[in-house]
Amino acid sequence: MDRLGLVLPAAADQAGPPSRQAESTAPDAGLEAPETVPIRPLAFRELLDLPFAVIQADIRTLAACAIAGLLVAEGLVVVINVADSALTDGTAAASAVSAIASTLLMAWLLRLFLRGMTVSIGLARIGGRAMSWRAALAQCHRRFGALLADQLVYTVFGIAIPAVGTVVLVIGLLGATPLLGWLRARRLTVAPVLFAESVPYRDAVGRAKILAVGAEWRLAWLWLALRALLLMLVVPLVGAVLFVANFSGTHRWAVVVLATTGALLIAAFAAVMDAAASVIGYVDRRCRREGWDVRIPVPTNRIARAAR
């Protein structure tokens, strides 16, 4: 801590004046060092923009992780469907069920993998250093149990809340969506807390809820806005898959591969985007609640001796 930041109110609702930036710690880093994310309270527009800055800063590493995960997941989907086809004599109904079930399972595992990798790499970039995929994978391995537990809770909420909203007609599916966003907001920073503060899962959940106090609906709107953005990106992708399907004809395996690849690609992009948004939310909430952007200068030896 060799620089003094600006004191900003923890409860400020809007972004404050510029303060310290996340900079490179390379030996030649100076005034021209690249800036990725400002370490200060962030405006809502910045909460939407900066996740993509985090992704762009390590685009090669994240793209390599996403492509590798996508290829492995799609390969497993194909293997499962081929085995199921051999066991069920290739009936259309059995193939459809197998394709849907295997795609959902692989998308869930792909999200778990990419979420951990993105949070590790993103937090390292916030700290001013680049992290290799090997180091990120090692961090994910050490926190696998906590990540798995959080993913399970995330999935339960994602299924249970819309299901209840659909059953209860007074609320409806659209009425349940803001509630789901509010629940997501309270747990938005669980993964960053796990990696940045090395605490057990139960403590990370409590810490994330404390960081989100007073900003649940602000973070919920962030989650909803990212869902809307994802929907706008999904529509062209689905159109591209259907366009390619016109050339492949109605061959079953071509359709299965195209459809499952498109679904896994959407899941991969959503996982990386959500994880990057959680990193940005972690920075914003720590600055607002704890003054994380405040830096106290460390006295040099000469100043210390003069003080004596």
Domain that holds residue 233: 44-141+216-290
Query: In which band, very low, low, confident or very high, does the pLDDT at 308 lie, cut at 50, 70 and 90?
Result: low
> Is a pLDDT exceeding 70 seen at residue 10?
no
pLDDT digits (tens, 9 = 90+) for 180-199: 889 899 999 999 999 999 89
Are the C-beta atoms of 39 and 283 separated by less than 8 Å?
yes
Task: Establish if 256 belongs to a structural domain.
Answer: yes
* Rounded mean pLDDT, 260-282: 93
Residue 77 burial by Cβ neighbours in a 10 Å radius (0-12, 13-18, 19+): buried
- The share of the chain scoring above pLDDT 90, in percent, equals 50
Task: Establish if 113 belongs to a structural domain.
Answer: yes
Q: What is the pLDDT of residue 17?
A: 42
Q: What is the pLDDT of residue 31?
A: 39
* Rounded mean pLDDT, 148-160: 89
264: Cβ contacts below 8 Å, ≥ 6 apart: 70, 73, 74, 77, 103, 106, 107, 110
Task: Establish if 146 belongs to a structural domain.
Answer: no
Task: Establish if 234 belongs to a structural domain.
Answer: yes
Task: Establish if 207 belongs to a structural domain.
Answer: no
* Rounded mean pLDDT, 87-107: 83
> Is a pLDDT exceeding 80 seen at residue 88?
no
Provide the mean pLDDT of the chain: 81
Query: In which band, very low, low, confident or very high, does the pLDDT at 248 lie, cut at 50, 70 and 90?
Result: low
User: HEC profile for the chain?
Assistant: CCCCCCCCCCCCCCCCCCCCECCCCCCCCCCCCCCCCECCCCCHHHHHHHHHHHHHHCHHHHHHHHHHHHHHHHHHHHHHHHHHHHHCCCCHHHHHHHHHHHHHHHHHHHHHHHHHHHHHHHHHHHCCCCCCHHHHHHHHHHCHHHHHHHHHHHHHHHHHHHHHHHHCCCCHHHHHHHHHHHHHHHCCCHHHHHHHHCCCHHHHHHHHHHHHCCCHHHHHHHHHHHHHHHHHHHHHHHHHHHHHHHHHCCCHHHHHHHHHHHHHHHHHHHHHHHHHHHHHHHHHHHHHHHCCCCCCCCCCHHHHHHHC
Are the C-beta atoms of 280 and 47 separated by less than 8 Å?
yes
Q: What is the pLDDT of residue 306?
A: 52
Query: In which band, very low, low, confident or very high, does the pLDDT at 25 lie, cut at 50, 70 and 90?
Result: very low
pLDDT digits (tens, 9 = 90+) for 28-57: 333 344 567 889 999 999 999 999 999 999
Task: Establish if 183 belongs to a structural domain.
Answer: no
Task: Establish if 239 belongs to a structural domain.
Answer: yes
pTM value? 0.80
Query: In which band, very low, low, confident or very high, does the pLDDT at 252 lie, cut at 50, 70 and 90?
Result: low
Domain total in the chain: 1
Residue that wins the pLDDT comparison between 13 and 133: 133
* Rounded mean pLDDT, 256-261: 84
> Is a pLDDT exceeding 80 seen at residue 58?
yes
Task: Establish if 74 belongs to a structural domain.
Answer: yes
